[in-house]
Amino acid sequence: MPMTKEPKLMTGNANKPLAEAIARRMSMHRGVSTKLVESRVERFNDGEIFVEVYENVRGEDMFIIQPTSNPANDNLMELLIMSDALRRSSAARTTAVIPYFGYARQDRRTKARTPISAKLVANMIVEAGIERVLTMDLHAAQIQGFFDIPVDNLYASPIFALDILEQFRDRMKDVMIISPDVGGVARARELAKRIDAPLAIVDKRREKPGEIAEMTVIGNVEDKICIIVDDICDTAGTLCKAADLIKSSGAKEVHSYISHGVLSGPAVERITKSAMKSLVITDSIEPTKAVKGAPNIRIVPTAPLFAQAILNIWNGTSVSSLFDTDMLEPIYEGLF
């Protein structure tokens, strides 16, 4: 592989503010100006996507920053076409930086005659010429095995741990971590361990998809500051019901920390009217005006984490070191 002098960043239209923030953080870390590669990603009148790269990328180590969030299909196609453009331009290596991996919830067959769309998307990404994937909080860990290329899956929990320790520094003895369902216990337990807090679970039972028949809190939440932890919040129906249940069970306050704020449909309105005192999300998905304007929604940045991960990949050093809160603390100094 040809030796490269600089990591080169490129972005589509999915989350340009995050891509620009990552470039700025890389410039701060290295003391060398890092800018996004000049390009255009446009649509013809019939919706076809066209990509043109204005700079020479021959032999370069390229990083495409593109979450596959809403509109998922358009953003995914942008990623694939950008990768093809770089491959045909003789880039040495192309890494897809996908802060939010769309289709991750379709990771298995839930009934007969249904697809495993996450595997199909993984195949498409590999065939487009991507040689490595960098993402955050995959909905299911086994998705890493869907790829035949290296996948680095970062975690938001170290960032959340830093934020919780700062926001509740005088009340940590009252903090309790809540998993909103049995499937998310491992994620919640990992964060609870980081901040040395107890754990409780909301058990939910569904009679049919999208409708919750019964919810029960497993654990004593009375007089506790309860923090619900999950990876994705879409319409916020389950999250708000869980918050209301926890509050009615005697909790002092209810907060939520969610890795990916999809927040579609009535989500923002539901959150604003819910028992939650605050909802903290990352900027893995570009927030809408409604999300930015919501009084009880706060956004924590992921640019420092992704910037350092990109530099580690480029330098050939450990990415897993970023799972450690102590390693992230200097990177996030002054941001909380």
Q: Which of 94, 84, 20, 9 is nearest to 52 (CA)?
A: 84
308 is known to lie in a ligand binding site: no
Q: Classify residue 90 as left (phi > 0), alpha (psi -120 to 50) or beta.
A: left
29 is known to lie in a ligand binding site: no
Q: What are phi and psi of 296, to 5 degrees?
A: -115, 20
102 is known to lie in a ligand binding site: no
The whole-angstrom separation of Cα 301 and Cα 269 is: 23
* Cis status, amide bond into 67, omega within 30 of 0: no
Under 8 Å CB-to-CB from 27, ≥6 apart: which residues? 33, 34
188 is known to lie in a ligand binding site: no
Is 208 labeled as catalytic in the residue annotation? no
The whole-angstrom separation of Cα 299 and Cα 19 is: 16
255 is known to lie in a ligand binding site: no
Farthest-apart Cα atoms in the chain, separation: 62
231 is known to lie in a ligand binding site: no
Q: Which of 8, 204, 241, 247 is catalytic?
A: 204
236 is known to lie in a ligand binding site: yes
31 is known to lie in a ligand binding site: no
317 is known to lie in a ligand binding site: no
Annotated binding site for D-ribose 5-phosphate: 206, 230, 234-238
Show binding-site residues.
Answer: 46-48, 105-106, 139, 181, 206, 230, 234-238
- Show which residues are catalytic: 204
Q: Annotated binding residues for ATP, as ranges?
A: 46-48, 105-106
Annotated binding residues for Mg(2+), written as ranges, equal 139, 181
